[in-house]
Structure 1
Amino acid sequence: MPETTLERTPDAAPSGAPLLDVTGVRKTFRSGRGRLTALDGVDLRLGRGETLGLVGESGCGKSTLARVLLRLERPDAGTVRFDGVDPFALRGRELLAWRRRVQMVFQDPFASLNARMSAADIIGEPWRTHRDVQPTAQARQRRVRELLDLVGLREGDAHRHPNEFSGGQRQRLGIARALALEPDLIVCDEPVSALDLSVQAQVLNLLADLQRRLGVSYVFISHDLSVVRHVADRVTVMYLGKVIEHGRTEEVFDRPLHPYTAALLSAAPTLDVSGEAGADREIPLRGEIPSPFDIPSGCRFRTRCWKAEDRCRDAAPPLRTRVVDGGDEPHEGLCHFPLEVAG
């Protein structure tokens, strides 16, 4: 059977264009309580072979955005371009071919694996849908062995079941399954949060090694800022469905623009035991995160912000930009009173 390939539309991405380009994406849900705004004008870009860290508190829209990127949810407005192609315009064989290019690694490595299937069957399950990728039984067996080796498992593990693996080994198995179709993008949804710290480091190093070897891109969703700092090239911070800060990882972590980002960073665990960071380092957030059914007027963060003034209630915050010396893109934040803006 000939291999199905994704045919580019006339507006396909030119060489050097981002792999993923999301502009103005909105998504709302309706329930008995009213309309919930999950995504409100989200923009993001991801280059080939890059990692984008996506951070924010629970309910900020990270998971909904992931579902949009995977074409599991259709946005109400805005555009999604993957390698220049609108995935929501694809049908039939073109859509099937596109789905090979975007895969996912889940948070819980045990719940995401079928306990009744062997490791070989789990890895090979995507080939039941995409039969042309590994058309013969011999090719599938050979590729299973290669993928097991690629993620640090043994050939003899092919016949074991998920309950016979440790948590870290199960996540390696999930990564092998995601790689089975040779994707360009993997959405990693809290991929190490269920693992012990030492195992987290092993899995993160594995993901980094796979990126270097295969050139795969990651959207990396996490609550753990230390993990994001370790793996991400760029960081997008979300709050109540909106991107409130974006930039290169070192810029966002070392010189945050938005008070919310600064508060998140101040609450992150630190290995500093000297006491120099001290209590004055912590920036407490007052109150609870507002309901997404009733988003505050003006700046949606104002109800918890120590810098808020009347202006924050009356008007949406402007986009503030810090130009980074020698950088290839600006550092941006939505705030009336950014922490620092050069120039």
Structure 2
Amino acid sequence: MSEHQHADQVLSVRDLTKSFRVSGGKTLRALDGINLDLARGETLGLVGESGCGKSTLARTLMMLERPDSGSVTFDGIDPFGLKGKDLLTFRRRVQMVFQDPYASLNSRMTAAEIIAEPWRTHKTLHGSRADRDMRVRGLLDLVGLGAKAFGKYPQEFSGGQRQRIGIARALALDPEVIICDEPVSALDLSVQAQVLNLLNDLQRELKISYVFISHDLSVVRHVADRVAVMYLGRIIENGPTEPVFDRASHHYTAALMSAAPKLRDSQRGERILLKGEVPSPLNPPSGCRFRTRCAAATEICAEQRPPLSLDVLVPGHVAECHHPRIDEQQSALSHA
């Protein structure tokens, strides 16, 4: 976990929306009023079921999708207002580590060529060939591969080693933010730990900020300073990692945590079974989008979008819920 949680803010997302036209002339609203902040040197874990909007949010932060409304700012700069050379220069600040280390590397390029490719794309490949090679070797050393990997091809590496090459490529442009999209899900457990430790070490050394997307909640608990929980295009809970995991305020968050065997075993909790299926994002429920599966839902949940409820014991821990679990927990504590 990062030690720079209280550093200055590098990323701010406000009221972000993004919709797509799908077959039949229908509209799918993938992001519906997203609000996020990311501090310099911090890791923000982004979790939620498949189809909740995590990948769309990642692509928007990478400026691969243009939002319908709302704002994304990096150090106060709106990247969607930039054009040409200014936009290309800005893109260096945000890079990505992809989920599949086997598909994300060009099998016809050596490790050295893959790592140097961003310099060619962004026209920052200055100096002699020897200078470039020295920089590549420095990045290989930084990710724990060493000079022996320089002239090898992706098929000559293991999955964990390939992911290290992907990380080195992401680092080549000295980014401030790296979007990690399920970066260890395709790796064996022992290799996962090595890659996660590498990311943690790089963060401490380089003061990088991560947006860490993962289905593995135990991994998120290990690496994230804060966690944002998504459901049908909304962030329904957001806060420091320990409070979100240990005393979830939103009923969906509690169910999500209870479904992870490693977390349930460590917390000695019972599995919370949700009723029904995830509603279609083409026709989400009115009011609270989770209400059709929530045991605590009442009439107001169908009529009004939930307000932000605050955890009075933990600054920055908020949830969108008419009947937050945290109220019950705090009431029980006050009567203990």
* Corresponding position: 1:170 with 2:156: no
Distance of 1:157 and 1:338 partners within structure 2: 52
Contact 2:218 2:263 in 1 (8 A): no
Give the secondary structure class of the aligned counterpart of 2:261.
coil
SS in 2 for 1:286: coil
1:337 aligns with 2:326: no
Q: Secondary structure at the match of 2:113?
A: helix
1:102-132 Cα distance to aligned partner (Å, 9 max, x none): 1000000010000011000000111112233
For residue 52 of structure 1, report the CA deviation from its aligned partner: 0.4
Residue of 93, 104, 124 corresponding to 1:112 = 104
1:232-271 pair list within 5 angstroms: 232-270=224-262
Contact 1:149 1:155 in 2 (8 A): yes
Amino acid at match of 2:52: C
Counterpart position of 1:26? 17
Contact 2:32 2:233 in 1 (8 A): yes
Once residues 273 and 30 of structure 1 are traced to their aligned partners in structure 2, the CA distance between those partners, rounded to angstroms, is 42
- Of 282, 286, 311 in structure 2, the residue corresponding to residue 297 of structure 1 is 286
1:227 lines up with 2:219 in the alignment:
yes
1:49 aligns with 2:41: yes
1:136 partnered with 2:128: yes
Corresponding residue for 1:313? Answer: 302
2:313 is the alignment partner of 1:324: yes
Q: Are residues 197 and 22 of structure 1, via their aligned partners in 2, closer, same or farther at CA, if it must alter by over 3 Å?
A: same
Letter in 2 for 1:307: A
Moved more, 123-132 or 56-65: 123-132
Q: Which amino acid aligns with 1:78?
A: G
Report if aligned partners of 1:324, 1:330 keep a CA contact under 8 Å in 2.
no
Local SS of the residue matching 1:81: strand
Deviation at 1:317, TM superposition (A): 1.2
Deviates further, 136-145 or 177-186:
136-145
Aligned residues with identical type, % of pairs: 64
Q: Name the residue aligned to 1:207.
A: 199
Unaligned stretches of 5+ residues in structure 2? 1-6, 332-336
Residue identity matched to 2:12: D
How far 1:26 moved relative to its partner? Answer: 0.3
2: CA distance between counterparts of 1:286 and 1:98?
45
One-letter amino acid of the counterpart of residue 25, structure 1: L
Match of residue 3 from structure 2: none
TM-score, scaled relative to structure 1:
0.91
Structure 1 position 92, deviation (Å): 1.5
Give per-residue Cα distances to partners, 1:117-149, cap 9 Å, x unaligned: 100000011111223354432221001100101
- Match status 1:182 vs 2:174: yes
Q: Which residue of 2 aligns with 1:284?
A: 273
Q: More deviation in 171-180 or 132-141?
A: 132-141
Output aligned runs, 1:4-23, within 5 Å.
17-23=8-14
1:37 aligns with 29
Question: 1:261 is aligned with what amino acid?
Answer: T
Amino acid at match of 2:302: R
Instruction: List 4+ stretches of structure 1 deviating above 6 A.
Output: 271-274
Counterpart for residue 4 of structure 2: none
Aligned residues: 323
Going from structure 1 to structure 2, the CA distance change for 1:145 and 1:68 (only over 3 Å counts) comes to same
Could you tell me which runs of 5 or more consecutive residues in structure 1 were left unpaired when the two chains were aligned: 1-15
CA RMSD of aligned residues (A): 1.7
**Contact kept? 1:46, 1:52, Cα under 8 Å:** yes
Separation of aligned partners in 2, 1:140 and 1:183: 18
Q: Provide the C-alpha distance between the structure 2 equivalents of 1:195 and 1:302, rounded to a whole number of angstroms.
A: 36
Taking structure 2 as the reference length, the TM-score comes to: 0.93
Kindly provide the CA deviation profile for residues 279-324 of structure 1, in whole angstroms up to 9, marking residues without a partner as x. Answer: x610011111111000001110011111112221122111101133
